[in-house]
Amino acid sequence: MKDLLALFGLTATPAAPSEADVALRPVTRRRLARDQYTRPPSFTDLLPWCEYLPDHQAFLLEDGRSVG
């Protein structure tokens, strides 16, 4: 059966939709709500600190030694 489908350029399992196909679909309420409430990446993820040290009221930086 697979060989017969392959002759016509078809596969037995449908391919996953590409990003372009998803972008062209009509907007649904679920998609609209998801897009409105999705949080953008936070700028604090780009800062060079690992953790906050409450005893010293300082941030431990990525090098493991420096504090700020």
Per-residue model confidence as pLDDT tens digits over 18-66: 777 766 778 888 888 888 888 888 887 888 888 888 999 998 888 888 8
Entry pTM: 0.37
Cβ contacts of 11 within 8 Å, gap of 6 or more: 2, 5
Query: Do 61 and 67 meet the contact criterion of CB atoms below 8 Å apart?
Result: yes
How is residue 58 annotated by DSSP? E
- Joined together, the tokens standing for residue 37 give 């409430």
pLDDT of residue 55: 92
Residues 59 and 53: their CA atoms lie apart, in Å, by 6
Query: Do 60 and 67 meet the contact criterion of CB atoms below 8 Å apart?
Result: yes
